Amino acid sequence: MFRNLKKLLIGRPLKNEELTGEKFNVLWGLPILSSDAISSVAYAGEEILWVLVPAIGLLAFKQMFYIALCIVGLLVILVFSYRQTIDSYPNGGGSYIVAKDNLGDNFGLTAGASLLIDYILTVAVSITAGTAAITSAIPSLIPYSVLISVAIVIFMTVGNLRGLKESSRIFGFPTYLFIISMISMILYGFFKVYILKIMPTTPVQVPAGTESITLLLLLRAFSSGCTALTGVEAVSNGIPNFREPAQKNAKITLILLATIVLFIFGGTSLLATAYHAVPTKDVTVISQIAKQVFGETFMYYAVQVTTMLILVMAANTAFSDLPLLLSIISRDKYLPRQFTKRGSRLSFTNGIMLLGTLAVILIIIFKGDTHSLMPLYAVGVFISFTLSQTGMFVRWIRLKSSGWKHKAVINGIGAIVTFVTVISIGATKFIHGAWIIVILIPTFVILMKLVRRHYKNIATELALTKERLAKANEAIEVKEFVIVPLESLNRASFKSLCYAKHLCDERRIVALHVTTDMEEAKKLQEKWKEYNISIKLVVKYSPYRDVINTLIKYVESQEHESKPGDIITVVISKFIVRHWWENIFHNQTGSFLRHELLKDRHIAVVTVPFILDK
C-alpha cells in the first residue's frame, strides 16, 4: 500500500541512463537561472522602507533612492567579478568549489555552510513573500498565510522528489511573465506620475519619523536592501546547462540579468517614492504600487500572481541546487553519504526532504512572516560571495596567467566590497537575528569536519590489508556452540532447533528457557521429555522479570570460555505476521535480544522466520 502511494506521488522509477539535461540558449537560460535573483526585487525595496519609514518618515523616500543606487553599484561589481569566475570554472564554479580550490578546505566548508543556510532561507523567504503577494490581493486569506506557505513547500517537495527538472522550459515562463508585468507597471506608472501628473486622490499617511538620518541607519537600510542581490551566483553555477558556447552564453545572461534587476529595482524604488508606499504587515509595497498604478484591474492581479509565480520558481532553484551541493559536499565525505544517493526518480531524495522539512519548520517558527525572516537572510549569501571572490583573487595571484593583474584587481574589488557588505549586514542585523547565523556557520563547519573524521577513522579500521588478511585467516574461528532461546515448545521454536542442528553437533547446542514462573518451566520440561527432544534444555529463573538480561548473562557466561575472535551463534525464531499491526499482539523479545546481542562482537545471530499462514 505504501509502495503504491509512493508510486502515485513520485512516479515510476527512472533508469540511471535517463539522467540527461536539456541544454539552453540565452533565451531560456536567462529566465530559468535568474528567477532567484530577479524575484528578490519583490521584497528588497520593501525591506529598505521597513528600516527607513518608521525612523525618518517622509525623508525615507529620498534616502531610499540613494541606497538603491548603491545596491545597483554593488550589482555591477558582482557581475564583472562573476564573469571572471565563469571563465575560470567552465564546469560550474559554486562558492564551495572556488573557495575550497583556492583557499583550502576550511574556507570551502565555510562557504558551503553559508550556502546551505541560505538555500533554506531562500525557500522560506520566497514562499512567504509569494504568499504575501496573494494575501495582499485577497485579504480574506491573511489568517491562512502560514497554512498556504506550508502547503506550497510540501507541494514543491513532492514535485522535486518526482524529479521536476529545473531544465524544463516551462519554468522559464513565470520569469518572463513577471518581467513583463513589472515593466508594464513601471512604464505605465512613470507615464501617470511624470507625464500625466496623476497622483493619488487620498495620499498615504506617512508616519512622522522618530530618529534623524545617521550613517548607522543608512547602513541598516543598505543591508536590508542587499537581499536584492541574492541568487546572482546561480548563473555561474549553471554553466553546464548552457548550449555551446556555454561560457559566452552565461556571460551574456549575467549582463541581461543585471540589466533587468537594475531596471525593475530602480523603477519600483522610484514609484514607491512617488506614491509614498508605507510597508505594513498585511499589504506588500509592490501590491500598493500596483494598485495605485492600475487600480483594481486585471493588470493589478496579474502583477500579484506573477510575483507569486516567480517567487515559487526562486524557491525551486534552491530545491534543485541545495541537494546538488549536499551531494558534492558529502562526496567529499563531509556529510553523511546518504546525500549522494539518487532516488528512484534520479533526484537527491534525502536532500530534498531535508530542505522541505527545514523550510516548513522555519515558516512555522516565524509565523509565515517574510519581514521577520529577513535578518537571517543575506548574511550567508554575502559570506559565500566574499569567499568566492577572495578565492578568485588568490587564484590570479597564484596562476599569474595572461592579464592576471587586471583580473586580480576586479576580483579584489569584488572581495573587498562584498566583505564590507558582510560586516555591514552582520553588524546592523546582529541583534535582530543575524547572530543565529553567526553561531550556525562555524557550528556546521565543525560538524562537517567531525563527520569527515568519523568516515576516515572507519575507513582506516575497515581496510583489508594483506597482513590483516593473513592474521584474520588464522584467528577467526566459529566456536562450535549454538544457543537457542525459546519461550515455549511450538512449531516455530522447533524449526529453530532443527536449523541449529545443521550448524553444529547436537551435543554443542543448548535450548535456553528463561522463566518468571517455575510452574511453567516445569511444564516445558515435561513436554520436552514427552516429545523426546535430544537437545539439552537449560532453564533460568529471572526474579526481576527481565528475560532479555537473563538471556544475555547466560550467553556471556558461555562467551567467557571462548577464545578471542571466536563466534558463538544464537538462533532466534521470529514470527512473521501478515500485517504489520499484528506485531502488537506479540512480544518483541526476539528483536530486543538480537539488538542487545549484536553489541558484542563474538556473537552471530541467526533469525529463523516462521510465517503464520492465517
Told to check if 7 binds a second copy by CB under 8 A, we report: no
Work out how close the CB of 608 gets to a second copy at its nearest, in angstroms, rounded to a whole number.
Answer: 5
Q: Which of 65, 173, 190, 455 touches a second copy by CB under 8 A? A: 455
Q: Which of 25, 199, 576, 592 touches a second copy by CB under 8 A? A: 576
Work out how close the CB of 441 gets to a second copy at its nearest, in angstroms, rounded to a whole number.
Answer: 21
CA distance 312 to 126: 7
Residues 370, 376, 378, CA angle at the centre, nearest 5°?
A: 95
Please name the residue that has the C-alpha cell 522610484: 270
Q: Which positions ≥6 away from 46 have C-beta within 8 Å?
A: 279, 284, 285, 286, 371
603-611 vs 509-515, strand pairing mode: unpaired
From the list 120, 78, 51, the residue with the least C-alpha distance to 425 is 51
CA distance 60 to 278: 10
For a second copy, which stretch binds (CB under 8 A), given 20-28, 74-82, 416-424, 449-457? 449-457
Instruction: Output 23 or 495, the one with its CB closest to a second copy.
Output: 495
536-541 vs 509-515, strand pairing mode: parallel
Work out how close the CB of 318 gets to a second copy at its nearest, in angstroms, rounded to a whole number.
Answer: 23
CA distance 562 to 557: 10
Size of the site for a second copy (CB under 8 A): 72
Instruction: Output 282 or 600, the one with its CB closest to a second copy.
Output: 600
Q: Which of 416, 494, 535, 596 touches a second copy by CB under 8 A? A: 494
Cβ atoms of residues 230 and 378 within 8 Å: yes
Instruction: Output 247 or 344, the one with its CB closest to a second copy.
Output: 344
From the list 36, 30, 24, the residue with the least C-alpha distance to 317 is 36
Told to check if 447 binds a second copy by CB under 8 A, we report: no
In the chain, the N- to C-terminal Cα span, in Å, equals: 20
Q: Which helix (H) or strand (E) holds 610?
A: strand 603-611
- Which parts of 412-431 interact with a second copy (CB under 8 A)? none
Work out how close the CB of 502 gets to a second copy at its nearest, in angstroms, rounded to a whole number.
Answer: 4
CA distance 100 to 331: 14
Instruction: Output 282 or 505, the one with its CB closest to a second copy.
Output: 505
For a second copy, which stretch binds (CB under 8 A), given 46-54, 71-79, 197-205, 497-505? 497-505
DSSP 207: P
CA distance 345 to 159: 11
Q: Which of 281, 400, 563, 614 touches a second copy by CB under 8 A? A: 614
Work out how close the CB of 120 gets to a second copy at its nearest, in angstroms, rounded to a whole number.
Answer: 19
Told to check if 499 binds a second copy by CB under 8 A, we report: yes
Would you give the binding string for a second copy spanning residues 342-371, x where CB under 8 A is met? xxx---------------------------
- Which parts of 500-559 interact with a second copy (CB under 8 A)? 502-503, 516, 531, 543-546
Work out how close the CB of 579 gets to a second copy at its nearest, in angstroms, rounded to a whole number.
Answer: 10
CA distance 95 to 75: 17
Work out how close the CB of 538 gets to a second copy at its nearest, in angstroms, rounded to a whole number.
Answer: 19
Q: Which helix (H) or strand (E) holds 609?
A: strand 603-611
Instruction: Output 23 or 594, the one with its CB closest to a second copy.
Output: 594
Strand ranges (E), 417-565: 477-485, 509-515, 536-541
Told to check if 498 binds a second copy by CB under 8 A, we report: yes
CA distance 411 to 388: 9
For a second copy, which stretch binds (CB under 8 A), given 11-19, 125-133, 282-290, 363-371? 11-19
Work out how close the CB of 245 gets to a second copy at its nearest, in angstroms, rounded to a whole number.
Answer: 31
- Which parts of 26-85 interact with a second copy (CB under 8 A)? none
Work out how close the CB of 2 gets to a second copy at its nearest, in angstroms, rounded to a whole number.
Answer: 13
From the list 101, 99, 119, the residue with the least C-alpha distance to 110 is 99
Burial of 127 per CB tally in 10 Å (0-12, 13-18, 19+): buried
Would you give the binding string for a second copy spanning residues 314-343, x where CB under 8 A is met? ----------------------xxx--xxx
Instruction: Output 224 or 558, the one with its CB closest to a second copy.
Output: 558
- Which parts of 124-183 interact with a second copy (CB under 8 A)? none
CA distance 78 to 392: 12
Identify the three-state secondary structure at position 330: helix
Work out how close the CB of 470 gets to a second copy at its nearest, in angstroms, rounded to a whole number.
Answer: 11
Work out how close the CB of 89 gets to a second copy at its nearest, in angstroms, rounded to a whole number.
Answer: 25
Phi and psi at residue 561, to the nearest 5° = -80, -10
Work out how close the CB of 517 gets to a second copy at its nearest, in angstroms, rounded to a whole number.
Answer: 8
Instruction: Output 2 or 531, the one with its CB closest to a second copy.
Output: 531
Identify the three-state secondary structure at position 288: helix
For a second copy, which stretch binds (CB under 8 A), given 37-45, 204-212, 250-258, 603-611? 603-611
**Residue 245: cis peptide before it, omega within 30 degrees of 0:** yes
- Which parts of 457-486 interact with a second copy (CB under 8 A)? 457-458, 461-464, 466, 468-469, 472-473, 476-478
Cβ atoms of residues 516 and 488 within 8 Å: no
Work out how close the CB of 88 gets to a second copy at its nearest, in angstroms, rounded to a whole number.
Answer: 29
From the list 604, 370, 339, the residue with the least C-alpha distance to 479 is 604
Told to check if 451 binds a second copy by CB under 8 A, we report: yes
CA distance 258 to 241: 19
Cβ atoms of residues 35 and 268 within 8 Å: no
For a second copy, which stretch binds (CB under 8 A), given 161-169, 278-286, 498-506, 554-562? 498-506
- Which parts of 371-400 interact with a second copy (CB under 8 A)? none
* Three cell numbers written together for 286: 509592490
Work out how close the CB of 77 gets to a second copy at its nearest, in angstroms, rounded to a whole number.
Answer: 41
